């Protein structure tokens, strides 16, 4: 009898024990399940973020470092893919004028976080051999950029080369065109100085500016001399106007870009429909160089190469005056067409 009661008690204890263990196991299991069902982070954050309408300019500036690395060849294809970098055809071109300050303008515009420059002069539209290589070749010469940035290239030979306007028009009829000009006689002397330096480097002699710019027989300005022809801005511009309306050009004052660059750059920002981002902080006058230099940030600044800002040779004042008189009517026409007046003689 006693044995039977003890067996019953053991059975009850077993059932109770089993129930208790079962409950504990159930609770453990339930807590575990709940844990697993609980969202790790809020649902919204697991959805793809909405596409930003425009990459904020500040973040573009931040990513400029990567573009720089790419240019130096230090960034990988994977980084290019990851950051959605592309080689874009230029949306604006500095078409000239040679010795007008084209390099300074390009470098200064490159201070803008939404601008990426093609470092080299590409000479695609003015060189038949390059042009025959096609648009993919041209695009391949462009720097990597973020899709919302604009690429700018400069090749000053475009302005004076016959075939170029039509070729650029065929690529993009709404492209923005920048022309930087200086007082025409000064530009011609600057042009001469560059050629002279090239000759001297090769230990060659060269004519004096006066004998090139003035025809010895007629005593008239020598219009066959290239440095003179290039400074007849209106003649070249008129060829361009057969393809592009005048609103698609912006004329930059190259003389003012030397002495006071910021207002000129702000006008270009507006022409390119870019928010104003280049500030006085980005430009500082370097007394040793005698020119404004560029400040990208607290650690990186640079001046243009020594080949920019050469000392010009002395030119006979009567020759300078003759040239100024010669250019005068062409200048008047240039002001009339462009709507930008300069205080050139
Ligand atoms: P000079 O060498 O006659 O002084 P380009 O780049 O089209 O060849 O133009 C060269 C000219 O850019 C130079 O002509 C120089 O005067 C001018 N320039 C304008 N801003 C400059 C800058 N910040 N640093 C150096 N040269 C500058």
Q: What is the pLDDT of residues 123-149, one digit of tens each?
A: 999 999 999 999 999 999 999 898 989
Q: Which atom of ligand 1 has the smallest separation from the CA of 100?
A: 7
Distance 103 CA to ligand 1 centre (A): 7
Most confident option among 7-11, 68-72, 193-197: 193-197
Q: What pLDDT shows up at residue 119? A: 87
Cα(173)–Cα(162) distance, rounded to whole angstroms? Answer: 17
Q: What pLDDT shows up at residue 78? A: 77
Q: How confident is the model at residue 82 (pLDDT cuts 50, 70, 90)?
A: confident
Cα(335)–Cα(343) distance, rounded to whole angstroms? Answer: 10
Cα(70)–Cα(93) distance, rounded to whole angstroms? Answer: 22
> Length of the chain, please?
345
Q: Is the pTM of this model over 0.85?
A: no
Distance 156 CA to ligand 1 centre (A): 13
Q: Which stretch of DSSP H or E encloses residue 17?
A: helix 2-37
Q: Taking 50 as the threshold, does the pLDDT of residue 196 lie above it?
A: yes
Q: What is the mean pLDDT of residues 323-341?
A: 97
Please choose from 93, 98, 101 the residue to mutate so as to test ligand 1's pocket, defined by most ligand atoms within 8 A of CB.
101
Distance 102 CA to ligand 1 centre (A): 8
Decide: 93 and 155 in contact? Cβ < 8 Å. yes
Query: Closest Cα partner for 337 from 253, 233, 261, 256?
Result: 233
Decide: 109 and 268 in contact? Cβ < 8 Å. yes
Distance 39 CA to ligand 1 centre (A): 62
**213-247 pLDDT per residue, tens:** 999 999 999 999 999 999 999 999 999 999 999 99
Cα(276)–Cα(94) distance, rounded to whole angstroms? Answer: 19
Q: Taking 90 as the threshold, does the pLDDT of residue 68 lie above it?
A: no
Q: What is the mean pLDDT of residues 54-77?
A: 62
Q: How confident is the model at residue 153 (pLDDT cuts 50, 70, 90)?
A: very high
Nearest-CA residue for atom 1 of ligand 1? 309
Q: Taking 80 as the threshold, does the pLDDT of residue 39 lie above it?
A: no
Taking each helix axis as running N to C, give the angle between helix 317-338 and helix 184-201, from 0 to 180 degrees, rounded to the nearest 10.
120
Residues lining ligand 1, Cβ inside 6 A? 98-104, 156, 190, 257-258, 291-292, 304, 308-310
Q: How confident is the model at residue 64 (pLDDT cuts 50, 70, 90)?
A: low
The per-residue pLDDT of the chain, averaged, comes to: 86
Q: What pLDDT shows up at residue 339? A: 95
Q: What is the mean pLDDT of residues 271-287?
A: 96
Contacts (Cβ under 8 Å, ≥6 apart) of 303: 286, 289, 291, 293, 294
Most confident option among 40-44, 70-74, 325-329: 325-329
Terminal Cα-to-Cα distance of the chain (whole angstroms): 135
- In the chain, the percentage of residues whose pLDDT exceeds 90 is 72
Q: Taking 90 as the threshold, does the pLDDT of residue 84 lie above it?
A: no
Distance 257 CA to ligand 1 centre (A): 9
Sign of CA dihedral 151, 154, 160, 163: negative
């Amino acid at each position: 009898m006693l044995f039977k009661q003890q067996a019953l008690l053991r059975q009850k204890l077993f059932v109770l024990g089993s129930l208790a263990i079962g409950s504990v196991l159930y609770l453990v299991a339930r807590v575990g399940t709940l844990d697993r069902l609980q969202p790790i982070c809020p649902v919204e954050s697991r959805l793809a973020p909405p596409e930003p309408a425009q990459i904020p300019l500040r973040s573009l500036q931040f990513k400029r470092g990567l573009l720089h690395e790419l240019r130096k060849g230090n960034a990988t294809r994977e980084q290019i893919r990851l950051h959605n970098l592309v080689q874009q055809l230029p949306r604006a071109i500095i078409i000239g004028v040679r010795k007008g300050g084209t390099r300074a303008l390009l470098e200064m515009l490159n201070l803008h976080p939404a601008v990426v420059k093609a470092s080299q002069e590409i000479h695609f539209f003015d060189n038949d051999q390059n042009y025959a290589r096609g648009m993919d070749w041209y695009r391949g010469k462009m720097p990597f950029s973020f899709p919302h940035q604009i690429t700018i290239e400069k090749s000053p030979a475009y302005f004076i080369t016959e075939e170029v306007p039509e070729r650029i028009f065929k690529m993009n009829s709404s492209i923005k065109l920048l022309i930087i000009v200086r007082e025409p006689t000064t530009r011609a002397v600057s042009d001469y100085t560059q050629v002279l330096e090239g000759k001297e480097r090769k230990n060659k002699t060269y004519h004096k500016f006066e004998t090139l710019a003035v025809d010895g027989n007629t005593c008239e300005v020598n219009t066959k001399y290239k440095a003179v022809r290039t400074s007849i801005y209106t003649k070249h511009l008129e060829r361009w106007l057969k393809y592009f309306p005048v609103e698609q050009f912006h004329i930059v004052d190259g003389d003012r870009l030397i002495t006071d660059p910021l207002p000129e750059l702000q006008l270009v920002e507006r022409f390119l429909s870019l928010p104003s981002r280049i500030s006085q902080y980005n430009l500082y006058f370097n007394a040793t160089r005698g020119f404004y230099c560029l400040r990208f940030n607290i650690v990186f600044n640079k001046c243009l190469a020594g080949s920019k800002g050469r000392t010009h040779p002395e030119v006979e004042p009567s020759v300078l005056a003759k040239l100024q008189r010669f250019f005068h009517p062409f200048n008047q026409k240039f002001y009339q067409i462009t709507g930008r007046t300069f205080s050139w003689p």
